[in-house]
Amino acid sequence: MYLTIPNFLTLLRILAVPVFAISVWYGELTYACAIFGLAAVTDLLDGFIARRFNQYSSLGAFLDPVADKLLMTVAFVLLCMPTAGLQVTIPVWVVILAIARDVIIGIFAMLEPPGNDPSRYKPTILGKITAGTEFVVISLVLLRNAVGQAYLPNIFFTWSFHIVAFLAIASGIHYFLRATNTPKANAK
């Protein structure tokens, strides 16, 4: 198997996670913001290139969501900790909801018996909206902390955290309902 461009971009995103984490931990928030932004761009690019040039692979299908969840989990955990001089932190309850959703979906997928329909765990539009919203909110939290100015008022972050929590719950319920729904063709 050869390394495709989308897989290479995904591997770069995985390698960016420790650099991102170190940057946040040591208060280098401008670097952390840039690294997170570049990682988000690689996520968009790898999907576009895979679709446009038909460069799908089983490795990419496995690594892409792992890279996304690794980056998001590390960002959520580090940005809820009052370290590195953060002016705005993500509330712990939002972090718990977002991470718990991903863990529960992952457990359901791993417990799926062989031969069952794997499409029940493919991303849905609600799941993509949730992930996109999480990326945007984390980016804005990083940007606010890097710039240090209150261009976005605290009430904006309060509302955005509630939206992330709502989407995590809604998409988690949606995935659960899809995963536990027995197709009518197989029901007897």
Q: Where are the domains of the chain?
A: 5-180
**What CATH code would you report for 5-180?**
1.20.120.1760
Q: What is the pLDDT of residues 85-99, one digit of tens each?
A: 788 899 999 999 999
More confident residue, 120 or 133: 133
Q: What pLDDT score does 112 carry?
A: 74
Q: What is d(CA 55, CA 142) in angstroms, rounded to the nearest whole number? A: 32
Q: What is the pLDDT of residues 8-28, one digit of tens each?
A: 999 999 999 999 999 999 999
Name which of 141, 128, 3 is nearest 63 in CA terms.
3
Question: In this model, does residue 186 exceed pLDDT 70?
Answer: no
Name which of 28, 30, 33, 43 is nearest 138 in CA terms.
33
* Token pair for 77: 């955990």
Mean pLDDT value across residues 110-114: 75
DSSP summary character for residue 187: -
Lowest mean pLDDT among 56-60, 97-101, 171-175: 56-60
Q: What is d(CA 79, CA 132) in angstroms, rounded to the nearest whole number? A: 17
Is residue 12 within 8 A of residue 62, CB to CB? The reply is: no
